Amino acid sequence: MRPPIHTEPDSGILARVAIQLVKRALLKPQTEGYSPSSLVYFTSAALPKDGFTDLRFALHSLAAHLGMGVLSHVWLKEVRYRASQGGVFRWHFFGLYKSNRNPYPRVTNRGVQTSLGAQHGLVSWSPDDD
């Protein structure tokens, strides 16, 4: 059972609206043959260019998770859980994605760390290397 809309955190509402927009897009005949994540990107691109940044962000999160094989209802559940815990808006939508990423190569403000065992841990670059 889904929670009532008036008790849902903003991120949960955005996630629910994102899923409903994709369901509506599925009803159009020209959407046949596309992968689920591509369909979500097309839905995002169809939004008016002015505004809707948070909804577009939610759609991109959904597309990234569908591309990883996460089902939409699992994504929604995870967004709701993280939203109920507070934290940063981006964490609500990309916490599951970021937790499953490979930590290397890791970009830092001092360069790219290729692995824990790398010489000095960083790869340096200079214009003379080209």
* 61 and 121 share one domain: no
Contacts of 22 (CB under 8 A, 6+ apart): 39, 40, 43, 59, 62, 72
| Strands (DSSP E) found in the chain | 106-108, 111-113
User: Is the per-residue pLDDT at 65 higher than 60?
Assistant: yes
Residue 14: phi and psi, rounded to 5, are -60, -40
Q: What is the pLDDT of residues 5-43, one digit of tens each?
A: 777 888 999 999 999 999 998 888 777 778 888 889 888
In this prediction, residue 127 has a pLDDT band, given cuts at 50, 70 and 90, of: low
> Which residues span the domain enclosing 50?
5-99
122, 112 Cβ separation under 8 angstroms: yes
More reliable by pLDDT, 16 or 103: 16
Global pTM exceeds 0.75: no
Query: Considering the chain, what is the average pLDDT of its residues?
Result: 78
Split into its structural domains, the chain has a count of 2
Question: What does residue 19 show for φ and ψ, rounded to 5 degrees?
Answer: -65, -40
Domain check: are 18 and 41 in the same one?
yes
